[in-house]
Amino acid sequence: MKKIIVFIVLLIVSIYTLFLTSWTGSYLMLEHNWQNKTIFTPEDVSDPRDIYFIDQWLYAFTIQPITSTIFIIASIVVVSMIIFHFRKRRKKKKQDEV
């Protein structure tokens, strides 16, 4: 039961920090020189609404690194917990077959 609560809390934290990171990254298109701050968006893009998500996320990481770092860590832990659960379940299923 304790693992489920930790999983749910980390999932909520991950979703919330993803929202905050996306919100902060969306301010990149309001910058006057946004084309100089993009790395992955092609240089021929003229509309700021066409900025790639990865560039917005990198911009958010430079503005608010703590929120972005919390998102990365929480997401890695959530994915690790899911993988661990499925591997444990698969191992148990193989033992039951033998």
DSSP single-letter state for residue 4 = H
38-59 mean pLDDT: 91
What local confidence, expressed as pLDDT, does residue 93 receive? 86
List, for residues 2-25, the tens digit of each pLDDT value: 889 999 999 999 999 999 999 999
* Residues 6+ away with beta carbon under 8 Å from 26: 56
Which stretches of the chain are assigned E, i.e. beta strand? none
What local confidence, expressed as pLDDT, does residue 94 receive? 85
pTM (predicted TM-score)? 0.79
What local confidence, expressed as pLDDT, does residue 73 receive? 96
Domain regions of the chain by residue span: 2-97
pLDDT at 1 over 90: no
What local confidence, expressed as pLDDT, does residue 96 receive? 82
List, for residues 60-98, the tens digit of each pLDDT value: 999 999 999 999 999 999 999 999 999 999 998 888 876
